[in-house]
Structure 1
Amino acid sequence: MRLSLTARCNLACPYCLPDGREPADLLSLSQRLQVVSAAVELGVSSLRLTGGEPLLHPELEALVEAAQPLRQHGLREIALTSNGTLLTAARAEALREAGLDRITLSLDGADGPSVARMAGLPDAAAGERALAAVLAAIDHARNAGFEPATGQLKLNAVIQRGINDGQLLPLARLAREQGLELRLIEYMDVGNRNGWRPDAVVPAAEMVHRISSHWPLEPLGRDAGGTASRWRYGDGAGAVALVASVSEPFCGDCNRLRVTADGIAYTCLFANPERGLDLKPWLQPGTPPRELEAALRQLWQARTDRYSEERTALPGTHAAPHAEMAYLGG
C-alpha cells in the first residue's frame, strides 16, 4: 500500500506538478494507522509512505514508529519515497530509529541544469544546490544504517525524451559510483497537467540498450506483483531496474492500493479522480474496524483497472481525467 502524507512539495517536477495546496480534510495520525491496520489484516505486507514530499509532514517519524506493532500481524516493511532535499542527518537517524526499512530518493539528473529543469527550479545554481542536497542525503541515509547493498537505499529517476534522456548515462554512472540500484521510470501520463505525449517516452528497452552499450547488463526478470524488471551489471557493479508502465504494462498482476492524504483510496495510479473511495466514513469514532476492512475488500474485488494496457489499444484513452500524481502519491 502507498500512503500519501501530504500533497505539498518543495519542488515542482513537471511530470508531477504539485500546486502547493493540501486537501481540505487530512487524515489524523490515528486515522492513518486505522487504514494501515485494516490493509494489513487484508494481507498487505508492504507500506510505502509518499507525498508530495513526505518529509514535509511533521508526524512522519511518529507514524513509522506507531506502525511497528503491525509487524506482528504481517507487515514486513515500511519504506519511504522522497526527493531527498530535506533529508538531514538527524531526520535519517530518527527515521531509522523509528523503524523505517527502506528509502528511495528521486533524482532526475546528475548536473545542475538537468536537476533544475526536471525539478521546476529557477536556474542551474538552484539545481546544483538541490543535487548537492540529494548527494548529502545519500550519505546521511547510509550513515544512519540504510544499506544500498541490501536494497535499503535506492535512486528513482523519471526519464523524458528531449528533456533529460541525455542524463541516462550520467545517472547510471552516479548510481554505480554510489553503489545504489537505479530505478528508471518511463515518463507516464499521470494527471492532466503535465503535457504528456507518447513520443516523450523513452521505452525501457531503449534505456537498457543505451546503458548496456557502456556497461553490459544481464536480465534478472520481474517478480510477480512487482513494478520493475531488474538487470545486473556484468562487471558486478550493482543493478538497474526499469519501470515500464507505458511500453510493457503490468496491470494483470498489479497489487498496489493507494490512499491519499485525505483518505481517498484508489486502485490505480491512473485513476479517474471521481472513482476513488472516501474512507473517512469508516474512520469515525466507534466504527468497528471490520467495516473498514470490508469496504477495502469490496473496493479491491471490484477493481477493473487496465489503463496502461488500454492506453495504446484505445486511441484517446490518455485524454481521460486522471488524478494528479502529487495528490495520488506517485
Structure 2
Amino acid sequence: MTTPGRLIDQHNRPLGVLRLSLTARCNLSCPYCQPDGGEDSRLSLHQRLQLIRACCELGLTTLRLTGGEPLLAPELDELLQTIQQGRNSRHDPLHHLQEVALTTNGTLLDGCRAEQLKQAGLDRITISLDGATGASVSRMAGLQGGERHGEQLLQRVLQGIAAAKAAGFHAESGAIKINSVIQRGRNDDQLLPLAELARQQNVELRLIEYMDVGNRNGWSAAEVVPASELLSQLQQRWPLEPLGRPQHGTASRWRYRDGAGHVAAVASISQPFCGDCNRLRITAEGMAYTCLFAEQGHDLRPFLAPDSSTYELQDALKAIWQQRTDRYSEERDQRQGEIRQPAEMAYLGG
C-alpha cells in the first residue's frame, strides 16, 4: 500500500484527526452541551467505514469516536472490530491508523463493556466528569434527582474508570483520561476536588475552558475560567512543571513535581491553537465540519450513495479540506457582536 499524500488547507494545516460522531443522543444533559437527542438519520456501518478509509488515504492517523454518547450507538463494537481487522492488513487503508480513541461520559462503562472495547481494538478512552461531589455532578449532568442521583452517577463513573483499567487501558500511558469543563459560577469550586480525584486515580485530568459552541448553552465570556487561572490555583496546592503543547495537540500539559501524574488544559478561548489544528469533524448524519465553531457543514451523503465511487468521496473530502480557512478562536474578539448560528456541540461531537 502506498503512503498517503499530505493534504493541507489554506493555512498549511494537514488533515490528521477525524472526530466521527456515532450519535447525537445522550443519556445526560450537561449545560455546556445541551443535547436535544435530535438526529434524522445516521450513517450506516458501511458508510462510516467508507469515510474512515477515504480519510486514511488522505493522511488521517487518529480516529476519535464521539457523540452524544457513543456507547449508545448499537454498531460501535462491529465498527471497532472491522477497523481493527483493517489496521492489521497492509492492504487496507485503515492500516495507516495509529490510534483509535473514544470519548464517553462513563456511565455505561461497566467491566463487560470495557473488556469488549479493549478486545475490539480501542486504544484510548477519555471520560467526561465535571464534578467530584454528588451535588456538583448532578448540576453539571443536568440530573433532576439532586445530590443523591449525582452521587450514584459519580460512583458509576468511578466504577467505569476502574473497569477500564482492569480491561487493560493503562492510565500511566495515557490510555485513560478525564475531561472536565470548568464554568465560573457553576462548578469552578470543583477544580481542586477533581484534581485530587484524578491524582488518586493516577489519571490525567484535562481542564477545558467553557466554549461558545452553538447557541443553546447561553455562553457568556464572564463564565469562562481561563486556563492560566486554573493552573495558578493548582500550582499553589501542588507545584507543577510545564511540558508544553505537542504539535497539533489541543492540550498543554504539566507534570506534578511530587510524581502524582499529569494535568492538562485545553485553552481554546484564552490561548487559541487554530494555527496547527488538524481536525475534521463528521456528524452522525454525514455532515463534515472543519471547525468546532463552524456555522456551515458539507453534506457527504451524496458521495456515500451506492452508485458513488471511492474517488468521488476522496475528491469531495480533498476539496473541503483544501478550501479550509477556519480560525474562529483566533478571530473571536474581532467578531464580537456578529449574529451567528453555529452548529451545536452534541450534534458536532465536541
Normalization by structure 2: what TM-score?
0.92
Partner of 1:108: 130
Which AA in structure 2 matches 1:177? Answer: Q
Summarize the alignment of residues 144-223 of structure 1 with structure 2, pairs less than 5 Å apart: 144-223=167-246
Once residues 283 and 144 of structure 1 are traced to their aligned partners in structure 2, the CA distance between those partners, rounded to angstroms, is: 35
Deviation at 1:36, TM superposition (A): 0.4
Deviation at 1:321, TM superposition (A): 1.0
Once residues 214 and 60 of structure 1 are traced to their aligned partners in structure 2, the CA distance between those partners, rounded to angstroms, is: 41
Once residues 182 and 56 of structure 1 are traced to their aligned partners in structure 2, the CA distance between those partners, rounded to angstroms, is: 24
Aligned-residue CA RMSD (Å): 0.9
Partner of 1:95: 117
Partner of 2:97: 75
Give 4+ residue runs of structure 1 displaced > 3 Å after superposition.
none
Once residues 8 and 175 of structure 1 are traced to their aligned partners in structure 2, the CA distance between those partners, rounded to angstroms, is: 27
Partner of 1:3: 20
Match of 2:310 among 278, 289, 311: 289
Identify unmatched segments of 5+ residues in structure 2.
1-17
Partner of 1:30: 46
Once residues 236 and 210 of structure 2 are traced to their aligned partners in structure 1, the CA distance between those partners, rounded to angstroms, is: 22
Determine if the alignment matches structure 1 residue 40 to structure 2 residue 56.
Answer: yes
Which AA in structure 2 matches 1:61? Answer: D
Partner of 2:142: 120
Once residues 195 and 349 of structure 2 are traced to their aligned partners in structure 1, the CA distance between those partners, rounded to angstroms, is: 25
Once residues 143 and 69 of structure 1 are traced to their aligned partners in structure 2, the CA distance between those partners, rounded to angstroms, is: 24
Once residues 239 and 184 of structure 2 are traced to their aligned partners in structure 1, the CA distance between those partners, rounded to angstroms, is: 22
Once residues 298 and 20 of structure 2 are traced to their aligned partners in structure 1, the CA distance between those partners, rounded to angstroms, is: 14
State the SS of the aligned residue for 1:58.
coil
Identify unmatched segments of 5+ residues in structure 1.
none
Q: Deviations over 1:105-144 (max 9, x none)?
A: 0000000000011110111111111101000000100000
State the SS of the aligned residue for 2:279.
coil
Deviation at 1:2, TM superposition (A): 0.3
Once residues 141 and 64 of structure 1 are traced to their aligned partners in structure 2, the CA distance between those partners, rounded to angstroms, is: 16
Determine if the alignment matches structure 1 residue 324 to structure 2 residue 332.
Answer: no
* Contact kept? 1:85, 1:130, Cα under 8 Å: yes
- Count of aligned pairs: 326
Summarize the alignment of residues 175-324 of structure 1 with structure 2, pairs less than 5 Å apart: 175-272=198-295, 275-317=296-338, 319-324=339-344
Partner of 1:15: 32
* Contact kept? 1:102, 1:152, Cα under 8 Å: yes
* Contact kept? 1:81, 1:104, Cα under 8 Å: yes
Partner of 2:79: 63
Once residues 278 and 70 of structure 1 are traced to their aligned partners in structure 2, the CA distance between those partners, rounded to angstroms, is: 26
Deviation at 1:314, TM superposition (A): 2.8
* Contact kept? 1:40, 1:70, Cα under 8 Å: no
Normalization by structure 1: what TM-score?
0.97
Once residues 198 and 136 of structure 2 are traced to their aligned partners in structure 1, the CA distance between those partners, rounded to angstroms, is: 16
Once residues 295 and 75 of structure 1 are traced to their aligned partners in structure 2, the CA distance between those partners, rounded to angstroms, is: 21
- Larger deviation: 285-294 or 66-75? 66-75
State the SS of the aligned residue for 1:44.
coil
Deviation at 1:308, TM superposition (A): 0.6
State the SS of the aligned residue for 1:78.
strand
Identity %: 63
Q: Deviations over 1:238-269 (max 9, x none)?
A: 00110000000011110010000000000000
* Contact kept? 1:85, 1:137, Cα under 8 Å: yes
Which AA in structure 1 matches 2:349? Answer: G
- Larger deviation: 61-70 or 126-135? 61-70
Distance 1:69 1:293, change over 3 A: farther
